Amino acid sequence: MATQRNFPVANMSFLLLCALVSVCVLTEASPENTKTVEFNVTPGGVVHSFTERIREYECTFTYASQGGTNEQWLMSVGLSDDDRLFSCSVWRPQGKSYLFFTQFKAELKGTKIEYANAYSQTAAGGQSDVPLKPEEFNVGESTVTHNEGKFSAQLSKLTVIGQTRHDEL
């Protein structure tokens, strides 16, 4: 199972460069290759899921949270014009979430995860993104999940980029 902390610094730097390039590529993608949808994150300790897809690629965000009231979140999915990269971002646009997450999982279908990061606070209102500690979450081939016993229960953003299994003819 691949996690951020297992990569040497050179590999991590390469992946960050790839992620930045991916974001640039995805912002240049045609409108039918990107989608942003609003959804409610509902507390109460019950497991909820929200899914969006573009063609055969799918992102599912599954979570359980406690405290507060519903929060409006966004999910953006994007597919690069060459069909090689699929991205999924889930975040609270107002910045820090006031909910306590007991669990979370993002799953990409049709891709192999190349980059993922989770944040306790998103850049909003002059604040910066605050990443979770690497030991708070696990990155696998198709999922990003909280690390039981090490996750601090704070989540405001999750970004995942996967390489599709697209083959040239």
0.75 surpassed by pTM: yes
Of 95, 117, 105, nearest to 64 (Cα)?
105
pLDDT higher than 80, residue 77: yes
**Can you name the residues that pair with 146 across neighbouring β-strands?**
137
Q: Grade residue 123 by pLDDT with cuts at 50, 70 and 90.
A: confident
- As a whole number of angstroms, the distance between CA 164 and CA 133 comes to 27
**H or E stretch including 162?**
strand 157-164
Tell me what the mean pLDDT of segment 60-81 comes to.
Answer: 96
Of 21-25, 97-101, 153-157, the least confident:
21-25
What integer best gives the mean pLDDT of the chain?
85
pLDDT higher than 50, residue 46: yes
- Condensed to tens digits (0 to 9), the pLDDT of residues 93-122 reads 999 999 999 999 999 999 999 999 999 999
Tell me what the mean pLDDT of segment 48-59 comes to.
Answer: 97
- Neighbouring C-alpha atoms within 13 Å toward the C-beta of 144: 32
**H or E stretch including 13?**
helix 9-27
pLDDT at 4: 47
pLDDT higher than 60, residue 168: no
**Can you name the residues that pair with 64 across neighbouring β-strands?**
103
Of 85, 126, 88, nearest to 107 (Cα)?
88
Tell me what the mean pLDDT of segment 123-132 comes to.
Answer: 89
Q: Grade residue 126 by pLDDT with cuts at 50, 70 and 90.
A: confident
DSSP 14-76: HHHHHHHHHHHHHHTS-GGGEEEEEEEE--SS--EEEEEEETTEEEEEEEEEESS--EEEEEE
Q: What are phi and psi of 26, to 5 degrees?
A: -70, -30
